[in-house]
Amino acid sequence: MARWAIAIHGGAGVDPSLPEHRQEEARRVLARCLQVGVDALRGGARALDVVEAVVRELETDPFFNSGRGSALTRQGTVEMEASIMDGRGRRCGAVSGVSTVKNPVSLARLVMDKSPHSYLAFDGAEEFARDQGLEVVDNSYFITEDNVGMLKLAKEANSILFDYRIPLAGSETCSALAGLENHNNGMVVMNGLPISVYAPETVGCAVVDSNGFCAAATSTGGLMNKMAGRIGDSPLIGSGTYACELCAVSCTGEGEAIIRSTLARDVAAVMEYRGAGLQEAVDYCVRQRLDEGFAGLIAVSRSGEVAYGFNCTGMFRGCATEDGFTEVGIWE
């Protein structure tokens, strides 16, 4: 029998000045959600079921930016997205523009298992959720006081929120300025926002079960103060989420950077096409594929390894393997 392993994350790009009590709370939530996965894996559960169950826990807890506790659009509403991938057969499902479904990751799974399609968004996703009898609530359910306050700060900071792109020569864009600040002044900026108001995007889980099958899932409320209709990397197969025979990956950070880098797929591609091991592939992708972008990822391999990497100020994460190893962390 193969050895199981699990990795989870609660978003990359953490405020270095995050108060100690918030750091403790984060670790508690991570530890609790990790334990849900560990218990399931010890009970012989399948990778796909484990990633869904763990991401549901992370969505339901308001601490991280997904489900309840999602970052707010510029209109003060919540629009969530998620994706899930079964390494077994590389089946996948995704949703975007979800505004009333309590657990978007479960809707993504239903798209994969019960719809004729792979990816449903906005009204189509919402209708499908009702067809499937999923639990729906008012959009206000997802909105927390914390995030209402953060949205105000984000607007006041007068930042245009960029998905951090490489600016055209001569373009005056906030991302160009953000880029400079990132490198020169040490003032930490993520996605165009000062790190103190940035809400690390996304939660995720990557698992290999005791049969050696891998699966991954990712869920998010997205970028604080985003335009309505903005889709990030989290629902995009190959960008935010990927799973195959060799490994499973979930990413977090600056959406545009992750999309340009097809970050999740590239970890697997480096293993597949170059024969690299898991940690080597993770390190390569984080260091070489992101250019000026900031992101992090978690990954597991079919042989029971866990790995993670990030090139920004921290990533909320947790990992556990069958031999008893378990840890949660935030910083390097």
The Cα–Cα gap between 200 and 131 comes to 32
Question: Considering beta carbons, is residue 293 or 314 the nearer one to a copy of itself?
Answer: 293
| Site mask for a copy of itself (CB under 8 A), range 95-124, x = bound | -xx--------------xx-xxxxxxxxxx
Question: Considering beta carbons, is residue 262 or 321 the nearer one to a copy of itself?
Answer: 262
Helices (H), 115-173: 122-131, 145-156
The one among 28, 42, 183, 274 contacting a copy of itself by CB under 8 A: 274
Q: Does 24 bind a copy of itself (CB under 8 A)?
A: no
Q: Does 176 bind a copy of itself (CB under 8 A)?
A: no
Question: Considering beta carbons, is residue 35 or 173 the nearer one to a copy of itself?
Answer: 173
Task: Name the binding residues for substrate.
Answer: 230-233, 252-255
Q: Please identify which of the residues 100, 202, 218, 220 carries the catalytic annotation.
A: 202
Least gap, CB of 176 to a copy of itself (angstroms):
13
Least gap, CB of 286 to a copy of itself (angstroms):
16
Contact 157, 197 (CB under 8 A): yes
Question: Torsions phi, psi of 234, nearest 5?
Answer: -60, -40
The one among 37, 192, 200, 314 contacting a copy of itself by CB under 8 A: 192
The Cα–Cα gap between 193 and 190 comes to 5
Q: For residue 307, what are the β-bridge partners? A: 299
Residues in the chain: 332
Choose the stretch contacting a copy of itself; rule: CB under 8 A; options: 28-36, 63-71, 238-246, 301-309. Answer: 238-246
Q: Does 163 bind a copy of itself (CB under 8 A)?
A: yes
Task: Name the binding residues.
Answer: 230-233, 252-255
Question: Considering beta carbons, is residue 9 or 265 the nearer one to a copy of itself?
Answer: 265
60 is catalytic: no
Where b means 16+ CB within 10 Å and e means fewer, 240-259 reads: bbbbbebbbbbbbbbbbbbb
Question: Considering beta carbons, is residue 234 or 321 the nearer one to a copy of itself?
Answer: 234
Contact 310, 296 (CB under 8 A): yes
Written as six digits, the tokens of 16 are: 């270095």
Residue 70 has, within 13 A of its CA and on its CB side, a CA count of 35
Question: Considering beta carbons, is residue 30 or 267 the nearer one to a copy of itself?
Answer: 267
Burial class (CB in 10 A: 0-12, 13-18, 19+), 1: exposed
Tokens 């005056």 label which residue? Answer: 172
Q: Does 13 bind a copy of itself (CB under 8 A)?
A: no
Q: Does 160 bind a copy of itself (CB under 8 A)?
A: yes
Number of residues counted as binding a copy of itself (CB under 8 A): 57
Find the Cα–Cα–Cα–Cα dihedral 122, 126, 128, 134, rounded to 10°: 140
Based on C-alpha coordinates, what's the Rg of the chain?
Answer: 18
Q: Does 170 bind a copy of itself (CB under 8 A)?
A: no
Contact 136, 102 (CB under 8 A): yes
Written as six digits, the tokens of 49 are: 């079921």
Least gap, CB of 76 to a copy of itself (angstroms):
15
Cα→Cα distances 31→3, 77, 147, 205, Å:
20, 29, 23, 13
The one among 16, 44, 89, 149 contacting a copy of itself by CB under 8 A: 89
- List of residues contacting a copy of itself (CB under 8 A): 89-92, 94, 96-97, 112-113, 115-125, 127-128, 160-163, 165-166, 168, 174, 192, 223, 226-232, 236-239, 242, 255-256, 259-262, 265-266, 269-270, 273-274, 291
Catalytic residues: 202
